[in-house]
């Protein structure tokens, strides 16, 4: 294992960074006056008077609980997993390095005032203090996973602390673009159907114009987002052909980061709903958040309280980053879901025929910039390779047969640390205006939510939105020759935002943010899972905290397809006698509450309706849309009707069939008749009848006996990038599948009222001692999560003291 060279390099990098830091300010003294009090679930509450000391205590606590997970998160983020895990992780390291500009991040950190650098440096110093303690007593303190892997944790720098956030939050959720994949689909459709019909089909699969029936988080009648952006397919004629199986670094990164297959490729899955004073029984605000990062062991999120140096907050945060993303300071509460704004563009670069590392821009061929990377590999030779960039950004693929390369331009590049510091500073905000002041500084795309103790609620979708040329189709790569450059950045006031909407609530499940807010990778549609939340919020005038919490249970088990197709299916069978098997099956769906549950824990869904839906939809889609699409395009629809891990959102094919059933009433023009002139009601009856026949053949004549095995939530031992963050024997599972947050938090604020209730399975600590003994907080939130319960988190020192399980003071 090649560790000496890596340690020396880290030491030099740290020396350079700290030298730059000390040149512009005086740093706090770390490690003094730090007190950490842990509650009954092991949640640390850190108390200190200075920023550096506060974050030192935070970093130390994280290293106590999650040392192996965080070491591997760091390596996943900066691309050094192969150094300790071997050749199988070289490609993962390449993906990480291809998505970052290390020097830019270091420069951004160096430009911070010392008071802000103290956050990153203090965290690293506390983390390193624990590493030193572990190194001094490995027989008792070294996490077992290090011993099993035969390597040791390395010291952190402020850069490492920042990079975990940059990779796991900024890059994972803001670096996406489907434009190249869209171009591949367009060309495939045209190859099968000809240019004109292929283009028409493309418009039905990825519609260019807005569907006015799509639900928005900012109520449509209150939206102020501009709708003057480019929509028509205008640059197609200027684009070269594309290789269908072209390997692309960014598409690979999106898939590895939890994204799906085309057409919904962006990694995102989170929900939030909140009600203000007019919609609560006691005039409070209630915020309920379920960020869906995936399920891992240890958890993607970490619970913490930070008290001192201007902070008095508690909540949960992903990968123990240096801010509480989901929490409260008792005056306001805040939350987040993945951002929907189009802050990236792919550019198709024209290559010099005599040099594929030069591209045409402003009438001349320019050499690409190159950054040489070397990956150290345990048990193998170093791997050296180049990372190329154009004026637009990093090159993600070379399509040499077509004389092209593709590069990714990000409006937020160079603003990553500014965005993180703004997210840190919202913890000090006490009003909507102060909250917005920080949102203005956020360059990445993210959805932010606000509630306060006066019963106010608000939503804003930050991000640097480019002003694009009028002739640019958002769905396709831009032309890279200099003729399709951005013309500026839109003013923040045009970003989607809403404050105390008349409806009394705000809700989001990665749906459209506001009218006019379009992007390349979304098919905003009336078919949207957010309706599983909004229909329940609209069903009552007033809510209690318990009722807001229970929406989570109902949405978690909701079938997300049935509500859109059942009205048409009922219409198709309304003339059939009740004794008809098809009519009887439809009546079963009509009588169903739409909940796919397994209350008796026998491993199959309690009701036959999940089996009916999972049998019918593949038949329906195969009949209606398969013949119109190339096999590779159809496969992207048919393979995820009800995914094995449970359905996170309505099937993309449901949107197509729903639009086709609506015909002229659809918000998307139906230039191609997916039903091929057949009577739509007859097709519904026929396909549903086939499903019923199949179930009778396979499971018997009595529908009450029709069963479908449940899917499960699998808590993986590998992180979202595929790097082990625990032992392979540490996989956990819960069934049936719950379509809900990685963690859930509910925050109630009012006059003299501040209540935070959270659950974040498996548990706070991932520590396993050398002898195999697991921390008592290793999985103590699993049953709570299974049963839709939450624990009270302590918001005052008096409450912390009354419920503490330990207290340690560092001198």
d(CA 581, CA 585): 6
Contact 43, 303 (CB under 8 A): yes
User: Is 174 designated active site?
Assistant: no
Token pair for residue 98?
Answer: 């291809």
What DSSP letter does each residue of 318-363 carry, written as one string? ETT-SS-SEEE-SSEEEEEEE-----EEEEEEEEETTEEEEEEETT
d(CA 255, CA 570): 38
Contact 357, 416 (CB under 8 A): no
d(CA 120, CA 109): 9
Q: Binding site annotation covers 399?
A: no
Q: Binding site annotation covers 433?
A: no
Q: Binding site annotation covers 434?
A: no
| Closest to 366 measured CA to CA, from 349, 347, 387 | 349
d(CA 345, CA 364): 22
d(CA 19, CA 208): 51
Cα dihedral 672, 674, 678, 679 in deg (nearest 10)? -100
Q: Going by C-beta distance under 8 Å and a sequence separation of 6 or more, which residues neighbour residue 528?
A: 214, 215, 509, 511, 650
Residue 87 has a CB neighbour count (10 Å cut-off) of 14
Q: Which residue has the tokens 């048919």?
A: 638
Q: Give 500: exposed, middle or buried? Use CB within 10 Å, 0-12, 13-18, 19+.
A: middle
Reported as half-sphere exposure (CB side, CA atoms, 13 A), residue 454 has a value of: 8
- Which of 61, 223, 225, 270 is flagged as catalytic? 270
Q: Give 669: exposed, middle or buried? Use CB within 10 Å, 0-12, 13-18, 19+.
A: middle
- In SS3 terms, 688-724 reads as HHHHHHHHHHHHCCCHHHCCCECCCEEEECECCCCCE
Q: Which residue has the tokens 């803001």?
A: 174
Q: Give 766: exposed, middle or buried? Use CB within 10 Å, 0-12, 13-18, 19+.
A: buried
What value, to the nearest 5°, has the Cα angle with vertex 243 and ends 238 and 244? 115
d(CA 399, CA 241): 9
d(CA 66, CA 49): 25
Contact 515, 216 (CB under 8 A): yes
H or E segment and range at residue 397: strand 394-399
H or E segment and range at residue 139: helix 138-141
Contact 358, 368 (CB under 8 A): yes
Token pair for residue 705?
Answer: 């006996």
Which runs of consecutive H residues, i.e. helices, occur in 720-767? none
Residue 441 has a CB neighbour count (10 Å cut-off) of 17
Q: Give 808: exposed, middle or buried? Use CB within 10 Å, 0-12, 13-18, 19+.
A: middle
Binding-site residue set for Ca(2+): 179, 342, 345
Catalytic site positions: 270
Binding-site residue set: 179, 342, 345
């Amino acid at each position: 294992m090649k560790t000496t060279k890596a340690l020396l390099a880290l030491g030099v990098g740290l020396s350079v960074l700290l030298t730059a830091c000390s040149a512009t300010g005086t740093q706090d003294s770390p490690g003094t006056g730090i007190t950490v009090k842990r509650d009954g679930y092991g949640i640390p509450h850190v108390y200190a008077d200075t920023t550096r000391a506060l974050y030192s205590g935070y970093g130390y606590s994280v290293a106590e609980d999650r040392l192996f997970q965080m070491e591997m998160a760091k390596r996943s983020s900066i691309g050094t997993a192969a150094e300790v895990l071997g050749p199988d992780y070289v490609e993962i390291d390449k993906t990480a390095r291809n998505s970052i500009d290390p020097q830019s991040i270091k420069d951004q950190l160096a430009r911070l005032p010392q008071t802000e650098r103290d956050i990153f440096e203090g965290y690293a110093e506390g983390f390193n203090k624990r590493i030193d303690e572990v190194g001094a007593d490995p027989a008792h303190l070294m996490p077992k996973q290090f011993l099993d892997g035969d390597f040791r944790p390395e010291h952190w720098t402020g850069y490492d602390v920042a990079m975990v956030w940059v990779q796991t939050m900024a890059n994972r959720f803001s670096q996406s673009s489907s434009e190249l994949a869209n171009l591949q689909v367009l060309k495939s459709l045209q190859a099968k159907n000809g240019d004109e019909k292929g283009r028409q089909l493309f418009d039905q699969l990825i519609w260019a114009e807005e569907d006015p029936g799509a639900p928005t988080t900012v109520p449509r009648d209150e939206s102020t987002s501009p709708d003057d952006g480019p929509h028509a397919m205008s640059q197609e004629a200027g684009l070269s052909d594309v290789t269908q199986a072209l390997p692309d670094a960014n598409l690979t990164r999106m898939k590895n980061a939890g994204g799906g297959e085309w057409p919904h490729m962006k990694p995102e899955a989170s929900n939030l709903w909140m009600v203000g004073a007019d919609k609560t029984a006691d005039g409070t605000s209630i915020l309920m958040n379920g960020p869906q990062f995936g399920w891992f062991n240890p958890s993607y999120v970490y619970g913490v309280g930070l008290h001192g140096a201007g902070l008095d907050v508690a909540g949960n945060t992903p990968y123990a980053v240096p801010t509480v993303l989901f929490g409260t300071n008792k005056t306001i509460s805040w939350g987040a879901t993945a951002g929907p704004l189009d802050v990236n563009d792919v550019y198709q670069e024209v290559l010099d025929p005599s040099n594929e590392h030069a591209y045409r821009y402003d009438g001349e061929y320019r050499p690409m910039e190159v950054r040489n990377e070397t990956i150290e590999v345990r048990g193998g030779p170093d791997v050296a390779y180049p990372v190329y960039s154009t004026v637009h950004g990093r090159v993600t693929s070379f399509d040499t047969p077509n004389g092209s390369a593709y590069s990714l331009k990000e409006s937020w590049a160079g603003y990553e640390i500014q965005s993180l510091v703004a997210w840190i500073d919202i913890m000090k905000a006490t009003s909507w205006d102060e909250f917005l002041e920080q949102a203005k500084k956020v360059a990445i795309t993210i959805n932010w939510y606000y509630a306060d103790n006066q019963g106010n609620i608000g939503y804003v979708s930050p991000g640097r939105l480019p002003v694009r040329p009028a002739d640019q189709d958002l769905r396709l790569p831009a032309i890279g020759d200099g003729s399709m450059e951005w013309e500026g950045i839109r003013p923040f006031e045009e970003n989607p935002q809403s404050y105390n909407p008349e409806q009394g609530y705000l809700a989001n499940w990665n749906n459209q943010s506001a009218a006019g807010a379009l992007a390349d990778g979304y098919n905003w549609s009336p078919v949207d899972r957010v309706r599983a939340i909004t229909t329940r919020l609209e069903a009552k005038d007033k809510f209690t905290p318990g009722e807001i919490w229970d929406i989570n249970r109902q949405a978690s088990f909701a079938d997300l397809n049935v509500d859109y197709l059942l009205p048409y299916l009922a219409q198709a069978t309304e003339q059939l006698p009740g004794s008809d098997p098809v009519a009887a099956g439809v009546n079963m769906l009509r009588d169903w509450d739409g909940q796919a549950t397994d209350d008796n824990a026998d491993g199959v869904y309690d009701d036959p309706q999940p089996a009916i839906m999972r049998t019918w939809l593949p038949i329906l889609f195969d009949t209606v849309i398969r013949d119109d699409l190339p096999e590779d395009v159809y496969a992207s629809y048919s393979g995820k009707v009800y995914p094995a891990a449970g359905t996170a959102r309505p099937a993309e094919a449901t949107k197509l069939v729903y639009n086709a059933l609506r015909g002229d009433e659809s918000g998307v023009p139906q230039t191609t008749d997916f039903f091929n002139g057949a009577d739509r009601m007859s097709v519904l009856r026929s396909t549903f009848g086939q499903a019923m026949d199949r179930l009778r053949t396979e499971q018997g004549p009595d529908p009450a006996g029709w069963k479908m095995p449940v899917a499960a939530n699998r808590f993986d031992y590998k992180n979202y990038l595929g790097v082990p963050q625990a032992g392979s024997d540490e996989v956990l599972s819960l069934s049936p599948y719950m379509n809900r947050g990685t963690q859930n938090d509910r925050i109630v604020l009012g006059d003299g009222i501040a209540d935070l209730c959270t659950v974040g399975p498996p548990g706070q600590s991932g520590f396993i001692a050398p002898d195999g003994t697991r921390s008592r907080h290793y999985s103590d939130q699993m049953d709570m999560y299974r049963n839709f319960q939450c624990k009270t988190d302590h918001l005052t020192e008096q409450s912390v003291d009354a419920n503490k399980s330990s207290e340690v003071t560092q001198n």
